[in-house]
Amino acid sequence: MSKVFHVEPPALSPQGVSDRSRRWRRVRRIVALPVAALALAGCTVPTFGAAPGATTSSRSTYHLWQGFSIGAVIVGGLTLVLILWAVFAYRRKSDRIPKQSQYHIPLEMTYTIIPILIVLGLFAATMVVENKEVANPKTTVTINVNAFQWGWKFTYPGQNVVVVGQTTQDPIMVMPVDTNVHINLTSSDVIHGFYVHAFNFSRYALPGVLNQFTLRAVNTGTYDGQCTQLCGLYHSLMVFRVKVVSQSQYTAWLTGNANVSAALAAQAATKQQTSSIVPTKPAKSEGNN
């Protein structure tokens, strides 16, 4: 992606501290807190409902999630305690008119400045992860992913391998582990959402736009994928799977499927034009092609 925004993460830059004012240093230290918490805490902190996932960027997203959640729990918990304290401690006991205090400038300044610092910290952490995710590293494997109503087509350019499946057919995108895989994402009709839960990642497939990103899986396995952007009648059945295999298995799969998938593709293409898709109730067992 071209829109890489370079922000020096305050916690990670060792130089340039000495010539700054004391106040600025304090600001930087507060900004650095969530980032540092993120870096230090790692896997020992709770998951907050998310999972590390199976790619490098899914892991950094997960750590960012943990960082945001720590902030949310602290800020939210504190605010909730204050609300509940006010609710229980100041219940009306008499017809007394309380002191009509209206302003307390230092207090108001405090709860203006602290949130700004928290927000800047969250933004810095966001930028660190985002720059990693939108970076365009060198890739050796390219997969063209095309979304259509209501299925997916995975083309391996130069390999003569095409995988197509619609609704209940559950197509499988095979990719090698520990390899940067470049994805070219397009749509043939309406907007679809390419979403793999285990990758903690989604991206729109837009008609007329080539969306590109890099996936680097760190675990082998089979992961569920699904269209997340409403695309018409069978949106809910527009599922696919991602199978992450070892480099040797990947090569074997490519050679083994070169001709088969070409035939399959032709078959699916005709089907796509002629058939009116009536979904049967799909089960997990069926649809392996």
Partner 1 sequence: MTDVLDPPVVAAHGDHDDEHEEHHGPTGILKWMTTTDHKVIGMSYTVTAVIMMVIGGALAEIIRAQLTTPNNSLVSFAQFNELFTMHGSVMIYLFVGPFAFGALANIIVPIQIGAPDMAFPRLNALSYWLYLTGSITMLSGFFVAGGAANFGWVAYAPLSNSINTPGAGADLWIGGLLLTGFSAIFTGVNLCATIFYLRAPGMTMFRMPIFTWNLLVTAILILLAFPVLTAGLIMLYCDRHFGTHIFTVPGGGVPVLWQHIFWFWGHPEVYILALPFFGMVTEIIAVFSRKPVFGYKGMVFATLSIGALSLGVWAHHMFTTGVVLLPFFSIMSLLIAVPTGIKMFNWIGTMWRGEVWFSTAMLMAVGFLITFLIGGLTGIYLASPPLDFFTHDTYFVVAHFHSIVMALVMGAMGGLYYWGPKITGYLLNETIGKIQFWFLFIGTQVFTLPMYLLGLRGMPRRIPVYPLHPSWQFLNQLSTVGAVLVGVSTVAFMVNIVYSWKKYPAGDNPWDGHTLEWFTTSPPPHHNFYRLPQIRSERPTWDYNHPGHTAAEHGHHADHHPEHHDEVPVV
Q: Is 137 in the site for partner 1 (CB under 8 A)?
A: no
Compare residues 52 and 176 and give the one whose CB is closer to partner 1. 52
Q: Is 59 in the site for partner 1 (CB under 8 A)?
A: no
Kindly state the number of chain residues that form the binding site for partner 1, as judged by CB under 8 A: 90
φ and ψ of 194, to 5 deg: -85, 110
Dist CA 171 CA 227 (whole Å): 12
Compare residues 209 and 252 and give the one whose CB is closer to partner 1. 209
Query: Site for partner 1 (CB under 8 A): which residue of 226, 249, 272, 289?
Result: 226
State in angstroms the smallest separation of the CB of 256 from partner 1: 26
Residues 156-195 within binding reach of partner 1 (CB under 8 A): 189-191, 193, 195
State in angstroms the smallest separation of the CB of 148 from partner 1: 12
φ and ψ of 219, to 5 deg: -125, 140
Residue 150 CB-density burial (10 A; 0-12 exposed, 13-18 middle, 19+ buried): buried
Name residues whose C-beta falls within 8 Å of residue 88's C-beta, 6 or more positions apart in sequence. Answer: none
Candidate ranges 139-147, 222-230, 252-260, 266-274; the one touching partner 1 (CB under 8 A) = 222-230
Q: Taking the chain, what is the end-to-end CA distance rounded to the nearest angstrom?
A: 33
Compare residues 156 and 240 and give the one whose CB is closer to partner 1. 240
DSSP calls for 143-202: EEEEEETTEEEEEETTTTEEEEEEGGG--EEEEETTSEEEEEEEESSS-EEEEEGGGTEE
Query: Site for partner 1 (CB under 8 A): which residue of 182, 235, 243, 271?
Result: 235
Structure tokens at 88: 């229980």
Compare residues 175 and 239 and give the one whose CB is closer to partner 1. 239
Q: Is 30 in the site for partner 1 (CB under 8 A)?
A: no
Dist CA 117 CA 95 (whole Å): 41
Residues 198-217 within binding reach of partner 1 (CB under 8 A): 200-204, 206-209, 211-213
State in angstroms the smallest separation of the CB of 39 from partner 1: 16
State in angstroms the smallest separation of the CB of 62 from partner 1: 8
Query: Site for partner 1 (CB under 8 A): which residue of 8, 16, 26, 123?
Result: 123
Q: Is 240 in the site for partner 1 (CB under 8 A)?
A: no
Compare residues 195 and 250 and give the one whose CB is closer to partner 1. 195
φ and ψ of 150, to 5 deg: -130, 85
Q: How far, in Å, are 3, 196, 213, 253 from residue 139 at the CA level? A: 19, 20, 10, 19
Q: Is 276 in the site for partner 1 (CB under 8 A)?
A: no
Q: How far, in Å, are 95, 113, 115, 155, 276 from residue 108 at the CA level? A: 29, 9, 11, 58, 63
State in angstroms the smallest separation of the CB of 235 from partner 1: 6
| Residue 55: strand pairing partners | 217
